[in-house]
Amino acid sequence: MAHALDITAANPQAPRLDGTEATAPVKRSLAGLTREELRQAVMEIGVEERKSKMRADQLWRWIYHYGVTSFDEMSNVSKVLRAQLAERFTLDRPRIIDRQVSVDGTRKYLIELAPGVECETVFIPDVSKSGALCVSSQVGCTLNCTFCHTGTQALVRNLTAAEIVLQVMVARDDLGEWPTSNEDRKLTNIVFMGMGEPLYNLDAVSDAIDIISDGDGISIGRRRMTVSTSGVVPKIVELGERTGAMLAISLHATHDPLRDELVPLNKRYNIKALMDAIRAYPGLNNSKRVTFEYVMLKGVNDSLAEARALVKLLKGVPSKINLIPFNPWPDSPYECSDWDQIEAFADVVNKAGYASPIRTPRGRDILAACGQLRSESEKVKASVLRKQRLADEA
């Protein structure tokens, strides 16, 4: 994991050889860290190894169950230790640069994770008591699905596990949902459907899921987390084995020539290879189904023949189908299918036994709906990008 646990706290008062004034070291936030990272952190301030696990567990509960933002609130931690912690660390969240609330209650946050690294996170309240937080796993994306706004933003970088967890913490802060035991929680589910391809950042996604699902903290169960992929075939089974999360597949087409065009990754892993990997996903049954996402593009993939082909393709796989009305973005090359056509398509799918599959667009007025997310973070150089792609594909 790439956390800066090795940051050495330089003495801020020490004279520097070049004669310039030394600046105070930036304090690291403990919010978002794994248990092991917390244990390392307490050892950095001198807690003995044999007591480090107990101390880390205490911090864990304060950070992830109570959501405290100050060490002073940690009433079962001694004053001395609290002072030592505060000297070296913080419990800061990243800055919210912008927060927009849609007419339908959807909230979109633009979050600054590091200087120049911004991501979008969207909270989608449900009609009932539950609600889902759509988190980003990368800033930008290396893939270029032709209907997706994020795809027009080059990859800036992978997010760390802490940065993924912090998106959840920021939303909980804003919704006033600490401590975790709060009965009326609205944030009940997490979907990895924000910016980026989660399976190109599986280590961080997996650590983040471990943190978020921990029953002593944020406590959102693994079955309440869904990871969506455009089809990174070699990582699909590994995702299931490592996280136990629910799987969503961005399918969007039922035959290779069209899918090659819409989801260019299909040229590398075609529909047959994708379906084989999906069938091997651990634990699939009628209560743990795969969600197939299908964006409705007018005149492109929305014929009734395609609806029938879709049903045929999914035969034998425990699945749910999510028809997503295409969400337009500035200069997007597609139009959303007509509502009648979406309903006729849904009808074919419904008759084959898949219930209410149309996903109502949420937060469109604030560009918070699926595929509309994009931040202004700087593009990386083409050479760096190429390297990242090669590493992703290795």
Q: How far is the CB of 236 from ligand SAH (least distance, A)?
A: 12
Q: Does 85 bind ligand SF4 (CB under 6 A)?
A: no
Q: How far is the CB of 157 from ligand SF4 (least distance, A)?
A: 14
Q: Does 141 bind ligand SF4 (CB under 6 A)?
A: yes
Query: Residue 324: which of ligand SF4, ligand SAH, none does it interact with, CB under 5 to 8 A by kind?
Result: ligand SAH
Footprint of ligand SAH (CB under 6 A) = 145, 147-149, 193, 196-197, 228-230, 250, 293, 295, 324, 326-327, 370-371
d(CA 17, CA 22): 10
Catalytic residue among 44, 118, 120, 306: 120
- How many whole angstroms separate alpha carbon 257 and alpha carbon 17? 63
State both tokens at 54: 């107990």
Closest CB 96 distance from ligand SAH, rounded Å? 21
Q: What φ, ψ does residue 283 adopt, rounded to 5°?
A: 80, 10
Binding at 118: pick from ligand SAH, ligand SF4, none (beta carbon under 5-8 Å per type): none
What's the closest the beta carbon of residue 250 comes to ligand SF4, in angstroms?
6
120 as an active site residue: the answer is yes
150 binds ligand SF4 (CB under 6 A): yes
Per-residue CA distances from 168 to 97, 116, 171, 196 (Å): 16, 20, 5, 17
How far apart CA 290 and CA 283 sit, in angstroms, is: 11
CB of 189 to ligand SAH, least distance (A): 14
Continuous H helices in 31-100? 35-44, 49-60, 79-88
- Residue holding tokens 């032709």? 146
DSSP states of 136-157: -SEES-S---TT-SGGGS---E
What binding mask, one character per residue, do residues 173-212 give for ligand SF4 by CB under 6 A, x or -?
-----------------------xx---------------
The partner in contact with residue 201, picked from ligand SF4, ligand SAH, none with C-beta cut-offs of 5 to 8 angstroms by kind, is: none
Residues whose CB falls within 8 Å of the CB of residue 212, separated by 6 or more in sequence, listed in order: 165, 168, 190, 218, 220, 225
Token code pair at residue 359: 């996903």
Residues that bind ligand SF4 (CB under 6 A): 141, 143-145, 148, 150-151, 196-197, 230, 250
Question: Would you name the residues annotated as active-site residues?
Answer: 120, 370
